[in-house]
Structure 1
Amino acid sequence: MEKFMAWMEKYILPTATKIGSQKHLVALRDAFIGTIPVTMAGSFAVMINAIVRDLPGQFIDGYDVSQIPVLNELVGINGFVWNGTIAVAGMIFAYSLGYNLAKVYKVNELAGGLVSLAALIQGIAFSATGTVNVPEGELGDKALEALTNAGSVVTQITEKDPVTGAISTFDSIQNGAWGWLKLDHLNGNAFFTAMIVGFISVIIFAKLMNKNITIKLPDSVPPAVSKAFAAIIPATAALYVIAIFNFFFNKVTGMLFIDAVQTYIAKPLMGFTQGFGAVLVITLAVQVFWFFGIHGPNVLAPLLEGVYGQAQLINQSIFQNGYGGKEGTEAVLAAIKDGEAFNWVRGSFDAYIWYGGSGGTIVLILAILLFSKRSDYLTIAKLSVGPGLFNINEPVMFGLPIVLNPILFIPFLVAPMVSVTIGYFATLAGLVAPVSQAVTWVTPPLLLSFLATGADWRAPLVTLVAMVCAFFIWVPFVIAANKMAPPED
């Protein structure tokens, strides 16, 4: 064990420290954190709709929220909240990324956020298409109606045949649908593209700013005006670089760059991370980092938030909007079957593995209270119960400590891997609904999994099974620690 820990401290710890402090990754991590206020507001709205619109239907036949005035209006209000948050999460993230990148480069943060946002918007679709399902015989009328609603101009033209004199009447359709922003280019699907064009555009902007390639105004001009004018040349250069790339990419491939990213990068990567092996490795990596006192979820934020977080936003969107004529959890399950939604997302880790914090330490606290005879362990455990119930485990991580504690190393790694196995295969087998809601991480464990799955009563049972298994993994090591003398001051 000592040799292994020495090897980890020599080779793993320095690398992890560098990763955790690398400025671009810090900016990316802070960008995800920066979106929390609005994404949690949208998640709250979706969750309320799940409770009042979808949950009662599981127990009451014929339940229809549209027939209940107050609740129906509440669903509509929550829809507006969703429109401004989850529905445009990619756009919000793009601004947050630009702001935080500019911050680490010590340039105008507001301009950096706007450059990143503009770089994303310029490459999305600006035209609308629509599909309607209509009874046979009504296709012509319904198609015209759909085209009109989409912005097309439909006019009726009458012509006379010059030879026969016959009069013909037909509809002339002029496509006027330009100017409709495609929502699938602004929601969670935009994350990968926002990262690519955001990093490129803002780095160009920041480099030019730092080289003072700017418009300089006299000192008498108000600072806000001077800052805005100073950003004009760098911002223009950065956006033209992205525009030229978008133009030639579209000319050569016939695709928008954002569609190519979604098709050839995002979907394969997200599909790969849905595998059990990938989920297990990420779980293990988080624990290893934490054991050495490094915040594992922060180090792995590009994967946890960028990949699994995007998957969660897609699940949320499908839950809210439906899929294939279905609503709520049924819509998510149908979309998973078609490869359009995901079994394992960011909130799945919180629901089934990180109860009490990384490592599932709430059960360690319980094991100590029941089986430990060490006064130092018992004191820390009692102090950690309150925070642990809200998934705050720093008191036990650094007070017990778990960090660099050889006797607790094995259960700290093994217990979460057993928990993730239970949660993963329970979700995969359909024993519990997939996570489709973002629930704030300080929500107590069993309630968190219940809410995160769209109020599936089976989810807390799965979490409880994982907790029981983890408890029995921790117990032998807690008992073994009784034979070790507390460290001397």
Structure 2
Amino acid sequence: METKKQSKLTTFMEEKFVPVAAQIGGQRHLLALRDGIVMIMPLLILGAFAMIVIDFPIPAWIALMESAGWSWGGKIDILINATFGIMAIIAAFGVASSLAGSYKKNDGTSIDGIPAGILAIASFFVVTQSDGTGSENLFVAMAFAILTAEIYRLFVQKNWIIKLPDTVPTAVSRQFSALLPGLAILGISWLIIAVPMSYTGYKTISHWLNEGLFSWLTNFGLSYPFMMFGSFIEHLLWTFGLHGSAIIIFPFFEPLWISVTHVGTTSIITWPFYENNVWLGGSGATLPVVIYMLLFAKSKLLKDVGKISIGPGIFNINEPVTFGLPIVLNPMLMIPFILSPLVIVTIMYAGTSIGLFPIMDKIVPWTTPIFISGFLAASGDIGSRLMAVLAQVICFSASFIIYLPFIRAWDKINLKREAGEA
């Protein structure tokens, strides 16, 4: 049962916080950034599989490949370049096409976002001069994709486009309509690099942004307080039924954390650091809750939810838990759902800082089960990878301890409720 204070807090959050958060989550530019990230997810997963093949930590496997008599490592690199290596290009297209397509023409019909996506790719190559198309230029790609989409939709809405007769096929007229906005977009992109770069020591805009302007942002973005802030907001939003990951993590945090995730990185905070530890069983690190319900629950509700949730939970999908228990709008379970990820971030950051845990520098498919994901996400020898697994064991145990008094109390409440109904 909710106390009066809890009821007031819940009411305040529902009336004041949730509408604002929902409005932010529906903001077109943030949705476009999210769509761009979603578009590169298949590449991340496929590239992760390629990395697992090339660096599978079993000496017998490596010896077998080397004994085949061909340069298997170099050939697998082709797949990595075709996935991780083109992320920025795909993101540029995805963000620009999504953002432009979210606007309306003067006649009320939606703007065709595909030409904007194509122009965003061209703009990206202008400002980077082909200076890397992978994760290192993800920020640049997204920034110029937004600029491209805004210029394109302005030209379309103002009717500053070349119109062809209705007898011309749509596929042809569509391309001609992109000529004038394309001229403006590429011209502006060229001016951005031609003038400032002539008077600075930077060769390209991406060089300047990544090493100059973004350096302070990167340092802050890869800090412990920044990750704690992001995790808190993400899980607070989830507890009110909003997709916190899509609202805060995917558009703001994921691009930065992906950009520093590579073998040999010195950054403690990486994308697998968060994805494979904080999301144990899904947002809120809920896999320990599923294990409790499966093994120890006494109420029918928790037993049933445990049975339904164990399969998805192993593969880091936890909607059956968040909406089945429920955790959403449940003051008793909202607390550990928010607290557990914060504790995990603290454990992982502290352990990695002192050298106890290895840096997680390899992206693995997000559905990879716990312990396997830790083993594959770290580089180094078997011992180093086993320490990554140990880190997940510690994080799992900490989450279980945090959830235990709350989920046990919720179990008792439901057991009494079921007995009363019977």
TM above 0.5, one fold?
yes
How many Å separate the matches in 1 of 2:285 and 2:366? 13
How many Å separate the matches in 1 of 2:329 and 2:138? 36
* Residue equivalent to 2:32: 27
Matched, 1:69 2:68: yes
Identify which of 171, 177, 188 aligns with 1:230.
177
Matched, 1:310 2:308: no
Greater shift, 230-239 or 449-458, is seen at 449-458
Work out whether residues 419 and 470 of structure 1, in 8 Å CA contact, stay in contact via their aligned partners in 2: yes
Count, aligned residues: 401
- Post-superposition offset of 1:87: 2.5
Matched, 1:461 2:390: yes
How many Å separate the matches in 2 of 1:443 and 1:214? 48
Letter in 1 for 2:409: A
SS at match of 1:484: helix
Q: What are the residue-to-residue correspondences of 1:65-464 with 2, within 5 Å?
A: 67-69=66-68, 72-105=70-103, 106-125=110-129, 181-183=130-132, 186-255=133-202, 256-300=204-248, 301-312=250-261, 315=262, 319=263, 332=264, 335-336=265-266, 342-454=267-379, 456-464=385-393
SS at match of 1:189: helix
Work out whether residues 422 and 466 of structure 1, in 8 Å CA contact, stay in contact via their aligned partners in 2: yes
Work out whether residues 119 and 242 of structure 1, in 8 Å CA contact, stay in contact via their aligned partners in 2: yes
SS at match of 1:404: coil
* Residue equivalent to 1:128: none
Letter in 2 for 1:90: A
Matched, 1:476 2:409: no
Matched, 1:4 2:2: no
Letter in 2 for 1:307: L
Task: Decide which structure has greater helix share.
Answer: 2
Work out whether residues 96 and 117 of structure 2, in 8 Å CA contact, stay in contact via their aligned partners in 1: yes
Identify which of 44, 50, 58 aligns with 2:49.
44
How many Å separate the matches in 2 of 1:348 and 1:231? 42
- Post-superposition offset of 1:196: 2.1
How many Å separate the matches in 2 of 1:209 and 1:381? 53
Structure 1: state its 5+ residue gaps.
Answer: 126-180, 320-331, 337-341
Letter in 2 for 1:299: I
How many Å separate the matches in 2 of 1:292 and 1:421? 24
Letter in 2 for 1:17: A
* Residue equivalent to 2:3: none
How many Å separate the matches in 1 of 2:303 and 2:63? 52
Structure 1 segments (4+ residues) deviating >6 Å: 63-66
- Post-superposition offset of 1:2: 2.1
Work out whether residues 407 and 477 of structure 1, in 8 Å CA contact, stay in contact via their aligned partners in 2: yes
Bigger Rg, which one: 1
Matched, 1:15 2:20: yes
How many Å separate the matches in 1 of 2:41 and 2:20? 28
Letter in 1 for 2:42: P
List per-residue Cα deviations over 1:428-482 (Å, max 9, x = no partner): 2222322222222111122112112247122122111111121122111122224
How many Å separate the matches in 2 of 1:478 and 1:56? 40
List per-residue Cα deviations over 1:62-89 (Å, max 9, x = no partner): x87885235x533222111122222232
- Post-superposition offset of 1:402: 0.5
How many Å separate the matches in 2 of 1:383 and 1:73? 46
Structure 2: state its 5+ residue gaps.
Answer: 1-5, 104-109
List per-residue Cα deviations over 1:115-164 (Å, max 9, x = no partner): 11111111224xxxxxxxxxxxxxxxxxxxxxxxxxxxxxxxxxxxxxxx
Letter in 1 for 2:124: L
Note closer, same or farther for the CA distance 1:64–1:374 as it changes in structure 2 (3 Å cut).
closer
List per-residue Cα deviations over 1:353-401 (Å, max 9, x = no partner): 1111111111011222344322112211211111111111101111110
How many Å separate the matches in 2 of 1:388 and 1:258? 40
List per-residue Cα deviations over 1:179-232 (Å, max 9, x = no partner): xx433xx22221222222221122101221122221111222111111111111
List per-residue Cα deviations over 1:256-290 (Å, max 9, x = no partner): 32222112233322221222222222121111011
List per-residue Cα deviations over 1:286-331 (Å, max 9, x = no partner): 110110111111011222222112222xx1xxx2xxxxxxxxxxxx
* Residue equivalent to 1:130: none
Note closer, same or farther for the CA distance 1:39–1:365 as it changes in structure 2 (3 Å cut).
closer
